[in-house]
Each structure stands twice: as C-alpha cells, then as structure tokens.
Structure 1
C-alpha cells in the first residue's frame, strides 16, 4: 500500500509499505479522505512538539472498515467511519469527566502514531478501547464531508465552553476554514448576530454569502464605531480569533465590551516586535475561555451536526489531491488558496 512519510521537516516521501495485519481486537480502515490541517503544514515544515520522525501525518480521517478482528463487536466490514484522532487513557480524572482531550497520557494520530496520509490505517486495541471509530449513519454524506468532523469538533469545543445565548453578539476574526466552521456551529446553535472581521476582500464577500450577518475589514480605522452601530451600541459580547497572528488577539481585546468574553481558540504565533495589550483583560474585566482540540464527545456532536444537515461543509471544499500529490496540497494550505484541501483516495 502507499503511504506518504515525513522523514524530517521538508521531506515528504512516498513509500510502498506492506499491508498491516489485523489482530483479534483491531480494525483496518481504508482511508478514503483525509483533510489537510494547517498543523500538518507546520509539522511538515518546522516540526511540532509531539512529533517524532519518521511519521505519517494526517488526523482528519474518513474511511471504510475493510477488516476486523474476531474479538471486535459493534462494527461491520463495509461500514463508513470517521476516526477520532485522540487515544486517551480512559481512567484519569479528565477522561472520566469526558474531557479526554486534556488527558495527560493522550496520544494523537498523525503526531504520536501514524495518521491518515496512507491507504490503510490500523486501529489497534488501545485505540479501540478509546472508541475512536465513529460509524456514519447518513449514507449520503461524502467521505470529503466526513473528514471535516475533527475541525468542526474543535469549534464545538470552544462554543460549548463559551455558553453563549441566542442574543449574544459574536465576532469571529479570520474568514478561513475554521472561521467559517465556527460560523456554521454558531448558526446551528441559533446565534442571531455573527460578525466577521477579515482583511481579505474576497473572503469577506464569501463570508457574507455563507451566512455572516455583517463583515468588516480589520484595518478600517472606523472599525470600533462600525461595530457599535451594527450592535445598536450594545457592543461585542464574545470574540473568537481564528488566526494565529498576535494582532488578532490584540484586536479581540480592543473590540470586546466590558465583561465580554475572549474565546482563546487559536494559539498565537510569537512576534517579538508586537505584543497584545493584555492589560485590557484587567481594565475591562474580560473573561478568557480556552479550548484545546476536541474530545470524543465533541466529535460525536460534530458528526450529529453533519448528519442532521444543520451544518453543510461542501462550500468549503476547494481542492482535492491524490495521496502522491500531498506536497502540492500543502502548498495550497501555505498560500491560503481556498478553504480546505483534501487528500482523496479511491
């Protein structure tokens, strides 16, 4: 079978590997689609804290069960599935509370274990114990759509933690893939006023067409005044920056009303020349709510949002590439070309 292996930063190599053997408590999944995340790009170029080389990247995986061990119950060959990438211990305090994304022993496919940029992936006994296999009940969902469950689940995580109500004014900074997925989750939850701040005009226009109630250019000197007018002088209740620049975090703190809430969804990149004015958290009594990845519970909710048609991710599919074209797919992500690039396999 084919697999693309990251030998070291900047070196993606297509390999022919032996087909994995399915043990008695294991499952083999033929990967049909694996979405490329910006974290994959980071791993492929500069590395990542949990990454050990060589490694097969890819953690947004959709596929079909092609073999199962005799001790595996509840699954059938031929079932279409989404693979939740986190393999947790199941016994710690966080796991028992359904917060398995915070498990101290968690291992992630595509970082600690080989991920989805291969034709067949083995789900071993430990991963099966973590219940990483999610059966897809909607036969009409394409594999490409199923591969959005992981990033969608990350958006579910932050918004579940923010506990907004329908009248909350939500601003999303950044109109890329995760900005739009956060929009879709907010609208599925009934949030009436969701605003986009994005400097790219094309993405502002696209964001408006896909459901944002208002869109603004973040570099507009009258931005604060415009936001006040748009919210009838109420101000902004919640901001979720969906881009890594420290300027986005600073803007979020500037535009939040007193007692507002920052959804710390995307970690910021280091920039010694610019530092966000975090004293505004003190002066405005801003609450900060963080989120990291997604738990198995968030994945199940994201799956339900897709299957119920409350969220439609099809407009975000910009490029499809073959497995051997993964490097080209990474270039699409690097250049901000479209929203999602998906590795699709037959």
Structure 2
C-alpha cells in the first residue's frame, strides 16, 4: 500500500526484493496502525519522502537470509524495531540509538510494514533491529505491539518513579493503557486515569487503573490527594496531544513532581499554557522520543513473559487492501488497536 502523496493511498504490485549478502527478507504477518500513520496519510510529515509505504509496528517471519547472516534462522518469528541508527555516534554507543542524528525510520525514511515483504539490509541488521520471538504462544498481532510498548518503556524509564509513587495518565486510549501495563509490570502501586470518555474510563478501571476521573470534577485536586494518602501526584504522562492535557498535568502535579512529555503537542492558538507552574512548583520535565533497541528488547521480554497482556486492546483486524478502513477506525477512536493482518 503506497502513499503517493497525502490523501492518496494506492495498492501496487512490486517486484520481490532480492536478498543479497548480509541481508534478509521478512514476510510481514501483522502491522499495527499508529495514529502517526493516519497523520502521515492525511497531512504528511516532515521526514516523509514520497512515494512511501507506511507502517512501523511490524511483526513477521524470516523467509530468506544472505551470506554472513548468522543467528537469524529462516522461519523464525520476529519483531522489527523501526529505527536504523549509525552505530558509531555517542548516542548509539551509550544505548540511546533513538537519538542518533543519522537515524532512519521504517515507514518514514524507508518503506515500512504495510507491504508483504521487507528487505532488512546490512546496516539494519548491524543496528540489531530484528528481535527474535522466543515465546511461540504469542500471536503476530500481539508481537506488533512491541514498538508502541517500547515507547512506553522509554518514558517510564525516564520518569524513574518508585513503586509507591502516584502516577496519573491522561488519556485512556491505546497508549494510555500500554503505559498502565508497563507501570504495573514495574510494580507501581497507584496508577490513576483521567479520561473524558465514560466508556474508556470504565474499561480503564476494568483493565487495572486504581482510580479513574473525568477531569471535570470541581474537587479533582482534593480527590487526587486522597488517592495518594495526602501526598499528591508524583508523575503525570499525558497520552494525548491537546495542550489542555499538558496544562492539566502541570496543575495536578505536586511540587517537585515530574511531567513525562510523551505526546507531542497539537497547536491551539486559542489556548494559553500556564508553563510558569514549572517554575513555581519546581516541576521536572522529562521528554521521550520513540524508543531505542534496548527499549524494544525490554518490551519484548515483558510480552514473552506474559507480564503484559495486550490481547484486550485488539479491537479490529483488517486486510492490507482494507488499510483505509483501518485508518478510519483510528480517526474515529473506534476501539484501541487496529491491525493489518496478512496471511
């Protein structure tokens, strides 16, 4: 499925890629649709070069490997980390390859997972983007969650909250729930949801949030203090792009709390952020961008060990030729995850 330009997705037949020395071919079995894919398909994105095959949350099977490719047997099920880094800069050497200045991303700089076969070149293999799946009970649909789950691992590693901390997640969509799952897997005992949609509040409570709020409660700050034994909110992760969520995070954080800047802000000229709260409350702000290879490996381990179960988040499965319908599910916030599944 080729994005010729914003708003124009076209399905095309292409030649099967040739597997050269030091390369491998991966048959895509499932590719989760990210809201970023929707943005790219409708509005474009600064890193996109057209035409482009989107899709960066990829699960598949190795179907061919060239000479000098060891440790990757044909038939092995894999997840594909989307970032291909240089491997030699200071960021790469320190395990922060997601910050590599030369990084190239599948679905942005290279063709991604909304196609039947992907070629993994020498640099990509050297970057260790292919993760072998050792738990045969994991379905390909589950494996496709590793990339967004790794992004949640990144922000929570950056937050460095202790197990007794009160963590608030604003937004009960797919990433809000994945952040809940990571927090609980890390042993954080008090994870609170703020979500305007009643159905998602109820679902969030059923899936493990310790308390849920709409955000409109007149005594919200008092209730959050009660939920944290009077201590206040230690950390907040806004999992939605509206500036209102960012502003609410600054409002509810206790003094010297930590904001996890996880979702980029959308523009709203009519809304003024009160960022002076960062100054007056001595708030720490930590950002996270995507995920590194080590974050993907940790996310893979959480799935393989069944410490995290993503199956309740699978709402829709579509065929490759139905990608635009899948995009509509994302646009309309219909369910949590829509996955392109291929035979």
Secondary structure of the equivalent of 1:16? coil
| TM-score computed with the length of structure 2 as normaliser | 0.99
What is the CA deviation profile of residues 103-125 of structure 1, one whole-angstrom value per residue up to 9, with x for unaligned ones?
00000000000000000010011
- What residue is the counterpart of 1:94 in the other structure? 91
Gaps of 5+ in 1: none
CA distance in 1, matches of 2:249, 2:325: 33
In structure 2, which of residues 25, 42, 50 is the aligned counterpart of residue 53 of structure 1? 50
d(CA) in 2 for partners of 1:43, 1:222: 39
Match of 1:210?
Answer: 207
Match of residue 36 from structure 1: 33
Are 1:179 and 2:179 matched, yes or no? no
Query: Are the counterparts in 2 of residues 217 and 223 from structure 1 also a CA contact under 8 Å?
Result: no
- Aligned twin of 1:241: 238
* Residue in structure 1 matching 2:167, options 166, 170, 185: 170
* Pairing partner for 1:151 from 128, 139, 148: 148
Counting only pairs closer than 5 Å after superposition, residues 295-334 of structure 1 correspond to structure 2 as: 295-334=292-331
1:112 and 2:109 are equivalent in the alignment: yes
1:220 is displaced (CA, Å) by 2.1
**Gap runs ≥5 in structure 2:** none
Aligned residue for 2:226, secondary structure, equals: helix
Q: 1: CA distance between counterparts of 2:97 and 2:213?
A: 37
Task: Confirm or deny that 1:74 pairs with 2:71.
Answer: yes
1:146-192 CA-to-partner distances (Å, cap 9, x unmatched) read 00000000000010111111100000000000000000000000000
TM-score, length of structure 1 as denominator length: 0.98
CA displacement 1:234-291 (0-9 Å, x = unmatched): 1100000000000000000000000100011111101110021100000000000110
Q: Which range moved further: 257-266 or 227-236?
A: 227-236
Q: Distance in 1 between matches of 2:203 and 2:259?
A: 25
8 Å contact 1:173–1:239 — kept in the other structure? yes
1:294 corresponds to 2:291: yes
Residue in 2 aligned with 1:199? 196
| Residues 218-246 of structure 1, C-alpha deviations (whole Å, 9 max, x = no match) | 12222112112222211100000000000
Residue number in structure 2 paired with 1:222? 219
Distance 1:191 1:225 in 2: 21
- Once residues 334 and 275 of structure 1 are traced to their aligned partners in structure 2, the CA distance between those partners, rounded to angstroms, is 26
**Contact kept? 1:240, 1:262, Cα under 8 Å:** yes
Tell me, yes or no, if the aligned pair for 1:263 and 1:288 is still in contact at 8 Å.
yes
Structure 2 SS opposite 1:15: coil
1:258 to 245, 255, 259: 255
CA RMSD in angstroms, aligned pairs only: 0.6
Within 1, Cα distance between the matches of 2:24 and 2:216? Answer: 51
Deviations 1:28-78 (A, max 9, x none): 000000000000000001011101110000000000000000221111110
Cα distance in 1 for residues equivalent to 2:69 and 2:169: 43
Cα deviation digits, residues 192-231 of structure 1 (max 9, x gap): 0000000000000000000000000012222112112222
Looking at structure 1, the residues matched to 185 and 67 of structure 2 have their Cα atoms a distance apart, in angstroms, of: 40
Q: Hey, what does 1:272 align to over in structure 2? A: 269
CA contact (8 A) 1:7 1:13 kept: yes
- Does the Cα contact within 8 Å between 1:34 and 1:117 map onto a contact in 2? yes
Aligned residues: 343
Aligned equivalents of 1:244 and 1:311: distance in 2? 25
